[in-house]
């Protein structure tokens, strides 16, 4: 059983659509990260959350600590948003990370 579950695994959207990627976790965490991995392999940290909501441009991340659930939203999606999005929960010890298997997003023009 994975400590972090993401859904959906694959997502195809038309340009302009609103996109939601979900992440549920079963362990106690100190923070939750959303990562973006482009086809070349490089990973970029998008958000780190311990409560509430954060916004950066067209990206919004929310977390509900009681429900152990986080969502990543993309508004007005664009083909350049096509990537794999990974949810990572940082355990209470600080150096233990639990990774979701990723959501592969393709945005079609």
Positions touching other proteins (CB under 8 A) are 2, 30-31, 33, 35, 40-45, 48, 86, 88, 94-95, 97, 99-102
Identify any residues that bridge with 97 across adjacent strands, giving them in sequence order.
Answer: 90
**Shortest reach from residue 46's CB to other proteins, in Å:** 9
Nearer to other proteins, 24 or 77 (CB): 24
Whats the size of the chain, residue-wise?
A: 109
Nearer to other proteins, 18 or 38 (CB): 38
**Shortest reach from residue 17's CB to other proteins, in Å:** 25
Nearer to other proteins, 2 or 12 (CB): 2
DSSP state of 93: T
**Which residues touch 91 (CB under 8 Å, ≥6 apart)?**
27, 28, 29, 30, 97, 98
Nearer to other proteins, 17 or 104 (CB): 104
d(CA 73, CA 59): 6
**Shortest reach from residue 33's CB to other proteins, in Å:** 6
Q: Which residue has the tokens 């969502």?
A: 71
> What sign has the CA pseudo-torsion 82, 77, 54, 1?
negative
**Shortest reach from residue 5's CB to other proteins, in Å:** 11
């Amino acid at each position: 059983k994975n400590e972090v579950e993401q859904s959906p695994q694959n997502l195809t959207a038309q340009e302009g659509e609103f996109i939601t990627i979900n992440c549920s976790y079963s362990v106690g965490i100190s923070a939750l990260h959303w990562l973006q991995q482009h086809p070349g392999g490089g990973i970029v940290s998008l958000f780190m959350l311990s409560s509430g909501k954060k916004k950066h441009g067209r990206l919004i991340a929310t977390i509900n600590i009681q429900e152990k659930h986080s969502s990543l939203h993309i508004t007005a999606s664009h083909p350049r948003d096509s990537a794999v999005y990974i949810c990572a929960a940082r355990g209470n010890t600080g150096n233990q990370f639990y990774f979701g298997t990723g959501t592969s997003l393709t945005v079609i023009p």
